[in-house]
Structure 1
């Protein structure tokens, strides 16, 4: 299988002692990878390094064969991401926001904008401004922006944040459909174990800045009653509880 994301010996330590240590990970084309760990475990730090927002102390990340430290523009050319929060222009409508974002890409027309608004359940709100949106609706608009250009790799930090049950189901279906039909590769971080179990095809457990284990969801659920049981087992086995 084609490797899409390669993380090698990635480390970043902050003055408060937190960070990540020696992360190694390979993610293949069409995978929905779930980066599972509690708040403060280093998930967002890793994703910020992957997207060039901060520099690592050591190690490297390759996306689609290109190093983020040496070929950043090529590495990010077919990547879309939401890190921490989905931002938008509060004085523009939902449609106008996506129209603005479309200027960064080639061949994004109004039909594509309306298509992603429909996919994310926002089409009927396209003429409303995000300042009136709930947290969940703002998150939907962020997802719409992330999939607008039909990227090959989508990196999402807590993508289900603020969504109600219906919204969570809808987002899971969008992610699964893109992975299955367009072979889009997803890197998703979350501390919501149940949602990771229902969404992701493979899972990596990050705890106190260290990668404890990586396995397919299928293998995990063949051996454990739930992903929660697996997570607790991995943490206990590594002496962290």
Structure 2
């Protein structure tokens, strides 16, 4: 079975010494992989390289067996991404924003756009301009855009950003629903509790290094909570 993501020796170091160094990681199809780490740990840098938005100093990323560097179009064919913030055109309505994205996918019609607006709780704002939206609503619209084409892999950087409690619960439900339908997830977050409730497997990044990966059920068999595990991993790596 092809791995959803294979990362080998991925490295990008900035002038200030920050970045990510020698990242090696496989994500299986069907995983809901949680990428945990404090701000500045290198999560977004790694995800930008995975999405082909940033050229690594060295190393390689393969998605469903296709190399991001050598075969970008095929690698990204089945991927939906939100990196940093969900972008939209402020002067267009929610519906028109999604119609614009839908042009890239021949099989996405208005019915599918409505479906995605419904799934993300945005259908009632269908004809409102996104410039008036709150951060949480923009985030929901961004999520709707990433699932339009029914991708096999979703790479989401801080998807719960700006969401209220109800929005977070809905997002967790959506992730579990899509995972049940066969979608693989790679999610970065600093909201440890939500990762614990959502992700099947966890990787901890600290100081630009991947310090550990394990299945959530293994971690919770040995620690009272994911937060306890995270603190002990960061402690063990001696730079808290």
* TM norm structure 2: 0.98
For residue 199 of structure 1, report the CA deviation from its aligned partner: 1.1
**Counterparts of 1:26 and 1:239, CA distance in 2:** 25
Q: Partner of 1:8 in structure 2? A: 8
Q: Is the 8 A contact 2:2 2:64 kept in 1?
A: no
For residue 146 of structure 1, report the CA deviation from its aligned partner: 0.5
Aligned pairs (5 A) from 1:75-90: 75-90=75-90
Matched, 1:127 2:123: no
For residue 32 of structure 1, report the CA deviation from its aligned partner: 0.5
For residue 132 of structure 1, report the CA deviation from its aligned partner: 1.0
Flag as ranges the 4+ runs of structure 1 deviating above 6 A.
none
Q: Partner of 1:159 in structure 2? A: 159
Q: Partner of 1:58 in structure 2? A: 58
Q: Partner of 1:46 in structure 2? A: 46
Secondary structure at the counterpart of residue 16 of structure 2: coil
| CA deviation profile, 1:162-211 (whole Å, cap 9, x unmatched) | 00000000011111110112x10110011111111111110000000000
Aligned pairs (5 A) from 1:64-103: 64-103=64-103
Aligned pairs (5 A) from 1:1-241: 2-181=2-181, 183-241=182-240
For residue 91 of structure 1, report the CA deviation from its aligned partner: 1.1
| CA deviation profile, 1:20-68 (whole Å, cap 9, x unmatched) | 1111100011111000000000000000101111111111000010111
Aligned residues: 240
Structure 2 alignment gaps of length 5 or more? none
Secondary structure at the counterpart of residue 3 of structure 1: coil
For residue 2 of structure 1, report the CA deviation from its aligned partner: 3.9
Question: Are the structure 2 counterparts of residues 222 and 2 from structure 1 closer, same or farther at C-alpha, using a change threshold of 3 Å?
Answer: farther
For residue 106 of structure 1, report the CA deviation from its aligned partner: 1.6
Structure 1 alignment gaps of length 5 or more? none
Secondary structure at the counterpart of residue 39 of structure 1: coil
Secondary structure at the counterpart of residue 154 of structure 2: strand
| CA deviation profile, 1:101-160 (whole Å, cap 9, x unmatched) | 100112111111110100000111101011111110000000000101100111000000
**Counterparts of 2:11 and 2:97, CA distance in 1:** 36
| CA deviation profile, 1:48-104 (whole Å, cap 9, x unmatched) | 101111111111000010111111111111111011010111111101111111001
Q: CA RMSD in A?
A: 0.8
Secondary structure at the counterpart of residue 215 of structure 1: strand
Secondary structure at the counterpart of residue 81 of structure 1: strand
**Counterparts of 1:65 and 1:48, CA distance in 2:** 18
